[in-house]
């Protein structure tokens, strides 16, 4: 986290000052990696600089306090130790009028204590060094303001998209050059963006996010994976409730010197808190009115008009308005263990799917998404997406989504979409009424046995796989074998024959 002693100025890298030919500065001792950031310039000839430094300074001195360059009494070592204790970023040592060269004992002390030591040549005044630092700070501050303005516009645009949380996370990752993740109250990843770091770093960030509580808005830590460079972790709480979501950032560099990043992260925290929080009272009122109308006997398409208006911000539609737009039904099943944070997970899913119409019951999910949209996969969930349907045909859309979910579970994929029947295939050559009659006749022995019909359908769709059918139906594989054997016996069919299976598949579709 940012050192509170460091002044809130736009710092400049020491390397930028060393690169200015007009100054002629040269680093003669101390570390060169990582980059040293200068927040202030201070000139002092005091033997003990601690009372006069805030931290982060380039301390300029001509060594007046110790005129003997060959001193061996440890005065240079004490001076450097106190300078480091005061938090100075670097020491600039002026040649003349007291010393003609940088004292060897001073250089050795800077190497020993890890303080960058810069030689200021005779012709360069301390005022010129300070002026160069102020100019560089002004230029950097201008660059930061431009970055912040661009990030504000970019993040605001992302927040207005149909799936705002993933969009905001992607934009934030691009602006920071870091991996970012939305964490649940237990530290579990709900959504992420950017290049994923190794698992130990992700686990450490999740643990950091889980430790946030009301009154602790942020926390920071480092993670070292293998023998690589440290990764810098930060977590920021979204909201003020006991069990809240958190934004996590994992970056390859600390970036404490870049004030723009702090402002950009702060904006993202506000947007994500709004996106994952409760909806407006007006939208809630409109959806409540839709529920009342449904309970009092209104047609689904009339209630759907009110709901769609609440989602688009168009206000309440006139009484009797009919919604003729499409809806996409989503069915889902949680992967892994469940946590007791239903409202928070529902909020994250609502933001990720682009709709507040979420029904979350334990490990099962149902959602209504307005329009024909490309529903994205959601971390930790297996989803089935139905074909877009009008409000009057939502039960058919849910059935399509349920079948797509079974395919996704059986195929061990994160998302499957309903594949509508082709209209240009073999089925188009058969009269629909005749095909329906034929299908019902072939499958008549299984009427009254919906479990056998559904097992036969899933088994045929999964190419006769016992294990995948058992997973899709959530039954034991022996149950699948028994049902298929029973169906074959009732139908008097040899299911080992490909032609028979094909005929039954068409019959299931046509009936």
> What's the CATH code of the domain at 37?
3.40.1390.20
Q: Reduce the DSSP state of residue 288 to 3 states and report it.
A: helix
Q: How many CB atoms lie within 10 A of CB 273?
A: 17
Phi, psi of 501 (to 5 degrees): -60, -40
Residue 196 sits in the same domain as residue 229: yes
* Residue 238 neighbours by CB under 8 Å, 6+ apart: 244, 245, 246, 247, 269, 272, 273, 276
Question: What 3 state SS string does 126-167 have?
Answer: HHHHHHHHHHHHHHHHHHHHHHHHHHHHHHHHHHCCCCHHHH
CA–CA gap between residue 106 and residue 100 (Å, rounded): 13
Residue 238 lies in a domain: yes
Residue 168 sits in the same domain as residue 252: yes
Residue 103 sits in the same domain as residue 222: no
Query: Residue 179: its pLDDT value, please?
Result: 92
Q: What would the two tokens of residue 50 be?
A: 């601690």
CB 25 within 8 A of CB 75: no
Give 318: exposed, middle or buried? Use CB within 10 Å, 0-12, 13-18, 19+: exposed
Residue 116 sits in the same domain as residue 147: no
CA–CA gap between residue 331 and residue 271 (Å, rounded): 27
CB 462 within 8 A of CB 468: yes
Give residue-wise pLDDT tens across range 443-481: 888 888 889 988 998 888 888 889 888 888 888 989 999
| Final residue in a domain of this structure, among 372, 390, 419 | 419
Residue 235 sits in the same domain as residue 163: yes
Query: Residue 343: its pLDDT value, please?
Result: 57
* Residue 64 neighbours by CB under 8 Å, 6+ apart: 45, 98
Q: Which helix (H) or strand (E) holds 292?
A: helix 281-295
Give residue-wise pLDDT tens across range 25-83: 999 999 988 888 888 899 988 888 878 888 889 999 998 887 676 777 788 899 999 99
Residue 83 sits in the same domain as residue 145: no
| Final residue in a domain of this structure, among 124, 157, 191 | 124
* Residue 263 neighbours by CB under 8 Å, 6+ apart: 144, 148, 151
Query: Residue 219: its pLDDT value, please?
Result: 78
Residue 299 lies in a domain: no
Query: Residue 348: its pLDDT value, please?
Result: 72
Residue 168 sits in the same domain as residue 232: yes
Residue 147 sits in the same domain as residue 219: yes
Residue 330 sits in the same domain as residue 369: yes
Residue 158 sits in the same domain as residue 271: yes
CA 438, 442, 448, 452: dihedral to nearest 10 degrees? Answer: -130
170-203 burial, b at 16+ Cβ within 10 Å, e below that, comes to bbbbebbebbbbbbbbebbbbbbbbeebeeebbe
Q: What is the CATH number of the domain that holds 217?
A: 3.30.450.40
CA–CA gap between residue 126 and residue 340 (Å, rounded): 62
- Through-space distance between the first and last CA atoms of the chain, rounded to whole angstroms: 65
Residue 350 lies in a domain: yes
CA–CA gap between residue 140 and residue 240 (Å, rounded): 34
Q: What would the two tokens of residue 124 be?
A: 């360069």
Phi, psi of 37 (to 5 degrees): -110, 130
Bridge partners for 327 per DSSP? 370, 389
Distance of CA 437 to the CA centre of its chain: 52
Residue 480 sits in the same domain as residue 354: no
Q: Which residues of the chain have pLDDT under 50?
A: 1-4, 6, 256-257, 279-281, 314-320, 340, 422-424
Of the candidates 148, 231, 245, 141, the one whose C-alpha atom is nearest the C-alpha of residue 187 is 245
Query: Residue 227: its pLDDT value, please?
Result: 63
* Residue 91 neighbours by CB under 8 Å, 6+ apart: 30, 58, 59, 61, 80, 83, 110, 115, 116, 117, 118
Cα–Cα distance list, 235 to 76, 217, 252, 341 (Å): 41, 8, 15, 19
Residue 142 sits in the same domain as residue 271: yes
Residue-range definition of the domain harbouring residue 437: 426-510
Query: Residue 318: its pLDDT value, please?
Result: 44
Structural domain count, the chain: 4
């Amino acid at each position: 986290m940012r050192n509170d002693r460091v002044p809130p100025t736009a710092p400049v890298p020491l390397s930028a000052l060393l690169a200015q030919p007009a100054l002629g500065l040269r680093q003669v001792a101390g570390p060169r990696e990582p980059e040293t950031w200068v927040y202030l310039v201070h000139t002092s000839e005091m033997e003990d600089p601690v009372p006069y430094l805030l931290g982060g300074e380039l301390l300029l001195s001509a060594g007046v306090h110790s005129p003997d360059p060959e001193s061996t009494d440890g005065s240079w070592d004490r001076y450097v130790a106190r300078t480091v204790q005061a938090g100075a970023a670097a020491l600039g040592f002026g040649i003349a009028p007291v010393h003609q060269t940088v004292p060897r004992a001073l250089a050795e002390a800077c190497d020993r204590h890890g303080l960058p030591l810069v030689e200021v040549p005779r012709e360069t005044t301390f005022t010129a060094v300070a002026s160069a630092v102020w100019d560089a700070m002004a230029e950097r501050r201008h660059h930061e303001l431009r970055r912040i303005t661009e990030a504000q516009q970019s993040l605001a645009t992302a927040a207005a998209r149909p799936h705002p949380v993933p969009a905001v996370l992607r934009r934030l990752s691009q602006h920071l050059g870091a991996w970012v993740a939305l964490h649940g109250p237990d530290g579990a990843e709900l959504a992420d963006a950017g290049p994923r770091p190794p698992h130990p770093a992700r686990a450490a960030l999740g643990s950091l996010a889980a430790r946030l509580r009301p009154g602790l808005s942020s926390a920071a830590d480092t993670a070292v994976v293998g023998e690589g460079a440290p990764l810098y972790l930060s977590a920021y709480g979204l909201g003020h409730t006991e069990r809240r979501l958190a934004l996590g950032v994992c970056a390859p560099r600390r970036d404490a010197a870049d004030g723009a990043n702090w402002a950009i992260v702060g904006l993202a925290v506000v947007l994500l808190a709004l996106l994952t929080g409760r909806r407006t009272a007006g939208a809630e009122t409109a959806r409540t009115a839709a529920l009342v109308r449904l309970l009092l006997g209104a047609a689904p398409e009339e209630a759907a008009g009110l709901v769609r208006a609440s989602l688009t911000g168009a206000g309440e539609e006139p009484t009797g308005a009919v919604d003729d737009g499409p809806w996409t039904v989503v069915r889902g099943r949680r992967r892994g263990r469940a946590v007791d944070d239903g409202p928070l997970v529902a909020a994250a899913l609502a933001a990720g799917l682009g709709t507040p119409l979420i029904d979350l019951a334990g490990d099962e999910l149902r959602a209504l998404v307005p329009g024909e949209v490309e529903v994205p996969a959601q971390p930790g969930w297996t989803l089935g997406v139905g074909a877009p349907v009008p409000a009057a045909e939502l039960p058919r859309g849910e059935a399509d989504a349920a079948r797509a979910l079974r395919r996704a579970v059986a195929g061990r994929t994160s998302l499957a979409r309903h594949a509508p029947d082709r209209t240009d295939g073999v089925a188009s050559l058969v009269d629909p009424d005749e095909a329906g009659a034929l299908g019902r006749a072939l499958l008549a022995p299984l009427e009254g046995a919906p479990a056998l019909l559904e097992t036969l359908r899933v088994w045929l769709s999964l190419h006769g796989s016992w294990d995948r059918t058992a997973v899709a139906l959530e039954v034991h594989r022996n149950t699948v074998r028994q049902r298929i054997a029973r169906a074959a016996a009732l139908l008097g069919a040899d299911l080992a024959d490909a032609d028979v299976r094909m005929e039954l598949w068409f019959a299931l579709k046509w009936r």
